[in-house]
Amino acid sequence: MPYSEEKKEKLNKLAKDIRLTVLEMIYKAGSGHPGGSLSAVEIIMTLYFDKMKLDPKNPQWEDRDRFVASKGHCAPTLYTVLADKGFFSKSELYTLRRINSILQGHPDMLKTPGVDVSTGSLGHGLSVGIGMALGGRLSKKDFYVYVLVGCGELNEGQVWEAAMAAVKYQLDHLIAIIDYNCYQLDGSMEDIMPLGDVVAKWRSFGWNVLEINGHKSEEISDAIDEAKKVKGRPTVIVAHTVKGKGVSFMENTHLWHGKKISEDDHEKAVSELRETSHG
Ligand SMILES: Cc1ncc(C[n+]2csc(CCOP(=O)(O)OP(=O)(O)O)c2C)c(N)n1
């Protein structure tokens, strides 16, 4: 359904606020992953604010939709969105990565309300999502399972084993979203392990494949609506994104994949984000 101008504006502002919070969390923690946290903002925000069936007062609600942050290093973005939704107090956000904090560097389902799966070791999330979707089918539930996968993560062989299994089990309540920002930890996808025609690859495995701009909430939302119409097979949404989106000196580089943010850089990033509008 087309977004109203009011909704677009509201979500653009929210995305900007999420970016500011994420940068402050990583700055205060003295370590973290700015690049892949910033690229995933609209994807995670749109899922939680527009698409997922949730009850922040009851994080374990059996009928809820599930989210697997398979690229677990985007945890600051997930935590910010969970706090915005009311799963826990926003005052927790600046305890990121501290000993005994409920917000560890990677998502921990035993520590953080609203986190459905512990992740961080890349390659496993889609397989876990398959288990959840099969569990939902067996218990006659109607929930959807969303799995956010990094493009570098696609270099892990297990993702492709999962890609085969999801089709074998005809998991139409499983929706994978690839944060396709073209960079990974220490280089570009092209230099490290090119994926070639990623759309053709997923199609050849039997998936329904959609391709969108992963910084446009409306496109993300429409793609999910489309995915839900397809019966008998899973959908993957290839979301084209920009690593480090929103901060010019962090964009389109692996150099801000995992890096401490200095006071100077934090100030520069904040003033840049405050001046620009993203959509
Ligand atoms: C199994 C495993 N190997 C290596 C790492 C270290 N690591 C963390 S993030 C990352 C790069 C991931 O790239 P991508 O999936 O493209 O993430 P994004 O660019 O979206 O941040 C690597 C190699 C890891 N977390 N898990």
Segment (H or E) for 178: strand 174-180
Question: What pLDDT score was predicted for residue 91?
Answer: 97
Q: Taking CB atoms and a 6 Å cutoff, what residues make up the pocket around ligand 1?
A: 35-36, 39, 71, 73, 120-123, 150-153, 179, 181, 183-185, 243, 257
Which helix H or strand E contains 263, and what residues bound it? helix 263-275
Residue 140, sorted as left (phi over 0), alpha (psi -120 to 50) or beta, turns out to be left
Total Cβ atoms within 10 A of residue 58: 11
Question: How high is the pLDDT of residue 183?
Answer: 98
**pLDDT value of residue 162:** 98
Q: How far apart are CA 202 and CA 191, in angstroms?
A: 21
Strand partners, 150: 179
Give one DSSP letter per residue of 181-194, joined into a string: -SB-SSSBHHHH--
User: Residue with the nearest Cα to atom 21 of ligand 1?
Assistant: 36
pTM of the model: 0.98
**Residue 197 and residue 138 in contact, taking contact as beta carbons nearer than 8 Å:** no
Strands 66-69 and 174-180: unpaired
Q: Which of 185, 198, 240, 257 to mutate to test the pocket of ligand 1 (most atoms within 8 A of CB)?
A: 185
Contact of 173 with 163, CB cutoff 8 Å = no
Least Cα distance to 64 among 115, 121, 127 occurs for 115
Going residue by residue through the chain, which has 279 residues, state the pLDDT in tens, using 9 for 90 and above.
799 999 999 999 999 999 999 999 999 999 999 999 999 999 999 999 999 999 999 999 999 999 999 999 999 999 999 999 999 999 999 999 999 999 999 999 999 999 999 999 999 999 999 999 999 999 999 999 999 999 999 999 999 999 999 999 999 999 999 999 999 999 999 999 999 999 999 999 999 999 999 999 999 999 999 999 999 999 999 999 999 999 999 999 999 999 999 999 999 999 999 998 654
User: In the prediction, which pLDDT does 1 show?
Assistant: 79
Q: Which amino acid is at 78?
A: L
Contact 51, 269 (CB under 8 A): no
pLDDT value, residue 277: 61
Query: What is the pLDDT at residue 278?
Result: 52
Sign of the CA dihedral with 58 first, then 77, 31, and 126 last: positive
Strands 235-240 and 145-150 come out as unpaired
- What's the confidence (pLDDT) of residue 276? 83
